[in-house]
Amino acid sequence: MAFKSNGNWFKRLMLRLRHEFQWLTPGTGYKRWLGLAIIGAMLLGLGLAVLILEYYRSTTSQILTPILAFLSLRFLNRPIRFLLFGGIGFILILVGIWGANRSLLRPFESGGKPVWDTLQHYRQREKGIKVVVIGGGHGLASLLRGLKAYTHNITAIVTVADNGGSSGELRRDLGVLPPGDIRNCLAALSSDEALLSQLFQYRFQEGAGLDGHSLGNLLITAMSEITGSFEEAVAESGRFLAIYGQVLPSTLTDVQLIGELQPKDSEPIIVNGESEITETEGMVNRVWLDPQDVLAYPPTIAAILNADLILIGPGSLYTSLLPNLLVRDLSEAIQASQAEAYYICNVATQKGETDGFNASDHVRVLEEHLNKRIFNLVLCNRNFKGNLGENSSWVAADKELHAKYRVYEADLVDDLYPWRHSPKKLAKAIMDLYEERTGPLF
């Protein structure tokens, strides 16, 4: 029993040592600071040794001389003294740093998870692939929530054609670009979605004098006035929320989305404004920007050209995706980029925009509007369980799509809200697919 007890003690000791030495794993960014601390301690010890040696050589005290000789272990050979003093000093440095780390970092351990694991995962995400996501609305925000678990190098490119609700009112009254979709993306990428993003997304109720406005929209608008530019306001809001990545407008031009709709039993009509397109009865024939030849925001072009992966969607086909892709420089940059480009098809149709559409219909509309093919693969849902309601139907990958594109199908739906993508399922499917093409990420 004694032998078994000693064996268990030794095993626990080895496990503990292995756990502590995880701090020396490559990529944590910890060893460089540990080495710097050791070098500093060595130089400090060398300086003290010089002072003590000078005093030892010059003193004539009959009392201190034998004490210093004993403390310096002069009765031992110099190599042995070096190993003793150096070894003890090195151990003390390690124990001191280890104890200080445990005292300082213990409050940051969450759910019993070691801080080292948190640090390692953070470093992995910090060095993750560069992903550009293009879209708008709640679909884009859902994707961003899932992606930030894999990488912090995320660029969300968002439409500024919104003219409804709080964004539209601020746009008309104050002349700022609509902040709504940008606000949603900032909140989704926030490092503290539990509190800060809820505050950012807070919407004032009736009777508050700010009916219908969200705090985030007001903050971005106020920041635009303070900084003098909309893009700087978005960047400052991102710093305030400590977001992973960046959110960029597709263009800084004040654009309107124009649509040609086909009502039943009547001639096509022209509708001005994103919100009017979704609210007017009739199928959408086509949409375009006014003015048409707008320039993309230069940092969006740089992000696309430097990306490892470009994701288009999910989001409303006519009012979220196309307002971005119709910015000519932006779509040309996607085509010129060396990155793989995936189109993420919606899991369900949207009333007034894509009634009766399947996956190939979504792709056809994009190709007709852009007159080019800009993505390499289409990602579709294959789980059709759940109640979508009367005004929506499942979007499936059909034979026509398989004939024209490389298609990847997976279970992507949210179990509680089947008409939406699950952030975790969607991000995992994308990363699994990317790993199949390039190898393991970490």
| pLDDT at site 64 | 65
pLDDT digits (tens, 9 = 90+) for 83-129: 777 777 778 777 777 676 666 566 555 555 555 455 555 555 566 79
Confidence check: pLDDT of 353 > 80: yes
What's the pTM value of the predicted model, to 2 decimals? 0.74
Residue 194, both tokens: 């539990």
Task: Work out the angle at residue 134's Cα, subtended by the Cα atoms of residues 130 and 136, and round it to the nearest 5 degrees.
Answer: 135
Q: Residues near 144 by Cβ (< 8 Å), separated by ≥ 6?
A: 133, 154, 156, 185, 188, 189, 245, 423
For the chain, the domains span: 2-114, 125-438
Q: Where are the alpha helices (DSSP H) in 21-77?
A: 31-58, 64-71
pLDDT digits (tens, 9 = 90+) for 232-263: 988 888 888 888 889 999 999 989 999 999 88
| pLDDT at site 1 | 46
Domain 125-438, CATH among 3.40.50.150, 3.40.50.10680, 3.20.20.80, 3.40.50.300: 3.40.50.10680
| pLDDT at site 282 | 85
Greater model confidence, 381 or 22: 381
Q: Is 153 exposed, middle or buried (0-12, 13-18, 19+ CB in 10 A)?
A: buried
What is the share, in percent, of the chain residues with pLDDT greater than 90? Answer: 33
Residue 378 near residue 405 (C-beta atoms within 8 A): yes
